[in-house]
């Protein structure tokens, strides 16, 4: 009877056939999951307003000369003796209190502001590792709720930290949770939507992050102090815990770990809401159980070294990972660099964030129509050329516009490299490849703050480094094959053979 059912109806994905590819049930969950991205943006990009560039004067010791003590770390106390400044006065006309003014993060303590952002990004990286492991063991829903709660609680507590070191610790823990929320929410979404919806949904899922970025300067403008700002970006996540009753466990994970009864309950609810025949649910469960033994016999352990064992796979992997690295460093670096440009910091950041939306919409429109590599190269070139052009202009407004265009280009490149990576790596190492690419992006974001603030030494250095990196990424795309409308590689050998002779033609 089961064999006859398979002959009559053999869908590409029986689990998706049971709950539909996209319907009211999916939309409610997708919206709920997307709201998680708002605090993700707030926590990752908060450094712009937690530690904005601040004018300071040395107050103690007093200078024995008439020279200006603005931006002075050492003063002449008489007889040519230079003493280290121990007390400072700050310009508080725009920001009444920042972490710089709170803990005197100037002079020899200046790099401690960059340490906050680097620690945040490193925490996000570690959170990806930690929560991905936990999510594979206990499911998607519980780790997501744990991460949301931890993110909110540690974010609130950090606002009351009396010492810099304690603030840094809680920011790191909050970043761990942020890495968990962004990873688990994305995985859960990809596991419930239909195959044909995964590409557009992976792009649309980035939109709430951009909206959160746009809202960040508004929240800072309304709060004026770093403590209130930190509270404002942390407390809203508490309300996301109410989604415990909306967001289901992943039925795919439940079936994978041998809990078909629980999976059937969720699939039945989804089928009813989406008006899918309930017999599809029973067929999906039976099909999955029937194929379980076959899947188990095909299991083989793979690791990241398989990405580099053969020459063609090694070349492609290196080119892709460099693109991930440059995208990660450039996006978070330029986002922070916007706060150092002349003009109104709130307007500068808001405008640059708003221009990311058109970039994302361009990807959404082109992703099923234009070569992946052409989109990736176009985004990289747009960013690289606009940032390098900044060294040729001195007008503050023009520089802000060019930096904003650069962020728009990154908004094109980032989701494209993510999708391209999911298609170029063979099935047996696809998760490893995409995961390692994400690690490269996080490593780029860890060093980004130091590049963004190196403008204090030479103003032209940040745009040259960020822009040059993007042009290198664009150039490396010439060595990669196109994946659009191609049969995806399954085995390591498929990956080695994929695009071996046609890379040059595919990118022309």
Q: What is the pLDDT of residues 170-185, one digit of tens each?
A: 999 999 999 889 888 8
Residue 449 in this model has a pLDDT that exceeds 80: yes
Give the pLDDT of residue 469: 94
Residue 1's pLDDT band (cuts 50, 70, 90): very low
Q: Are 278 and 182 in contact, with CB atoms under 8 Å apart?
A: no
> What six digits make up the tokens of 27?
């939309």
148: Cα within 13 Å, side-chain hemisphere: 24
Question: How confident is the model over 370-387, as pLDDT tens digits?
Answer: 888 999 999 999 999 999
* Torsion over CA: 207, 212, 215, 217 (sign): negative
% of the chain at pLDDT higher than 70: 92
| Of the listed ranges 65-79, 219-233, 386-400, the one predicted with least confidence | 65-79
Residue 340's pLDDT band (cuts 50, 70, 90): confident
Spatial distance between the Cα atoms of 121 and 500, rounded to a whole number of angstroms: 36
| Of the listed ranges 224-233, 358-367, 394-403, the one predicted with least confidence | 358-367
Give the start-end residues of each E strand in 338-431. Answer: none
What's the mean pLDDT in 131-154?
Answer: 89
> What six digits make up the tokens of 114?
């960059």
Count of Cβ atoms closer than 10 Å to residue 260 Cβ = 18
Residue 8 in this model has a pLDDT that exceeds 60: no
Residue 192 in this model has a pLDDT that exceeds 60: yes
Rounded to two decimals, the pTM is 0.86
Question: How confident is the model over 302-339, as pLDDT tens digits?
Answer: 777 888 888 888 999 999 999 999 999 999 999 989 88
What's the mean pLDDT in 151-163?
Answer: 94
Spatial distance between the Cα atoms of 265 and 402, rounded to a whole number of angstroms: 52
Give the pLDDT of residue 13: 65
| Of the listed ranges 11-20, 88-97, 236-245, 272-281, the one predicted with least confidence | 11-20
Give the pLDDT of residue 364: 85
């Amino acid at each position: 009877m089961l064999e006859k059912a398979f002959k009559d109806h053999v869908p590409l994905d029986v689990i998706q056939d049971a709950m539909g590819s996209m319907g009211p049930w999916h939309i409610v969950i997708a919206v709920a999951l997307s709201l998680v991205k708002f605090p993700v943006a707030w926590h990752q990009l908060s450094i712009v307003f937690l530690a904005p560039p601040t004018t300071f004067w040395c107050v103690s010791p007093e200078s024995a000369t008439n020279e200006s003590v603005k931006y002075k770390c050492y003063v002449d106390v008489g007889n040519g003796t230079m003493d280290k400044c121990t007390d400072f006065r700050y310009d508080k006309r725009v920001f009444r209190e920042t972490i710089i003014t709170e803990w005197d993060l100037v002079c020899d303590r200046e790099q401690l502001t960059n340490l906050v952002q680097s620690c945040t990004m490193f925490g996000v990286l570690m959170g990806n590792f930690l929560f991905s492991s936990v999510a594979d063991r206990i499911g998607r829903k519980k780790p997501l709720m744990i991460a949301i709660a931890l993110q909110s609680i540690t974010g609130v507590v950090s606002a009351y930290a009396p010492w810099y070191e304690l603030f840094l610790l809680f920011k790191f823990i909050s970043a761990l949770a942020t890495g968990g929320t962004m990873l688990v929410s994305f995985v859960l979404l990809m596991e419930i939507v239909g195959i044909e919806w995964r590409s557009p949904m992976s792009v649309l899922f980035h939109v709430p992050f951009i909206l959160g970025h746009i809202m960040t300067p508004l929240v800072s403008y309304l709060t004026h102090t770093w403590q209130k700002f930190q509270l404002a970006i942390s407390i809203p996540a508490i309300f996301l815990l109410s989604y415990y009753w909306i967001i289901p466990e992943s039925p795919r994970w439940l079936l994978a770990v041998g809990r078909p009864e629980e999976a059937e309950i969720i699939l039945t609810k989804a089928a009813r809401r989406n008006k899918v025949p309930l017999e599809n649910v029973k067929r999906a469960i039976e099909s999955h159980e029937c194929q379980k033994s076959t899947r188990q016999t095909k299991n083989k352990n793979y690791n990241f070294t398989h990405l580099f064992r053969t020459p063609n796979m090694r070349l492609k992997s290196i080119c892709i990972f460099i693109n991930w690295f440059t995208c990660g460093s450039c996006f978070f670096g330029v986002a922070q660099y916007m706060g150092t440009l002349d003009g109104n910091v709130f307007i500068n950041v808001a405008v640059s964030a708003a221009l990311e939306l058109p970039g994302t919409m361009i990807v959404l429109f082109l992703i099923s129509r234009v070569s992946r590599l052409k989109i990736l190269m176009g985004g990289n070139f747009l960013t690289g050329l606009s940032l390098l052009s900044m060294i040729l202009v001195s007008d503050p407004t023009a520089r802000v516009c060019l930096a904003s265009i650069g962020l728009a280009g990154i908004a094109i490149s980032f989701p494209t490299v993510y999708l391209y990576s999911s298609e170029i790596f063979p099935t047996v190492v696809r998760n490893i490849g995409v995961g390692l690419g994400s690690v490269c992006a996080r490593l780029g974001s860890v060093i980004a703050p130091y590049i963004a603030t190196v403008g204090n030494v030479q103003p032209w250095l940040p745009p040259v480094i960020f822009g040059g990196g993007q042009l290198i990424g664009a150039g490396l795309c010439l060595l990669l094959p196109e994946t659009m409308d191609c049969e995806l590689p399954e085995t390591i050998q498929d990956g080695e053979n994929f695009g071996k002779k046609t890379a040059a033609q595919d990118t022309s």
